[in-house]
Amino acid sequence: MHLSLDGLARALLTVLCAHTFLHGKVFGESFAYHRQWLSPDGREWALEFSADLGGSEKKQRLEGIDLVSLDEHGRITDFRVLARPPNAVSALKDEMMRKVPPRIAAMKLKQAARSMFGK
């Protein structure tokens, strides 16, 4: 049996992992939003953020912008994260790769159980 996660499930999982990181797992209390821009119709957002990665010996400052687009019903149609510098982005990617694959496997297992047992 082969089960794949659809785009929405993968996106939700990634956002959940990122949320976990934002609240202590990677960034600790250092994550903060700063400036924001909203289009006149409220459907386009730009949110500036920063956070510290790593321990005291290898601390790296991550800076970035979340770009969010909404459809007429308020649902997200596009979500992009632009971040810098490259070494901090690489450190974040490494940490995400340690956390996301096990959660994808667990989600696939749960999906398989539902298809087999109807729950």
Fold of the domain built from segment(s) 7-111: Nuclear Transport Factor 2; Chain: A, (3.10.450)
What's the average model confidence in pLDDT over 49-71?
A: 84
Q: How does DSSP classify residue 23? A: I
Confidence of residue 17 (pLDDT cuts 50, 70, 90): low
- Give me the pLDDT at residue 27, please: 67
Nearest to 31 by CA among 97, 81, 94: 81
Helix or strand (DSSP H, E) at 61:
strand 60-70
Asked whether residue 85 carries a pLDDT value surpassing 90, the answer given is yes
Element spanning 51, H or E:
strand 44-53
What's the rounded mean pLDDT across residues 71-99? Answer: 85
Average pLDDT of 22-42?
A: 79
Structure-model confidence comparison of residues 97 and 18, the more confident one: 97
Q: State the greatest distance between any 2 C-alpha atoms of the chain, in Å, as a whole number.
A: 50
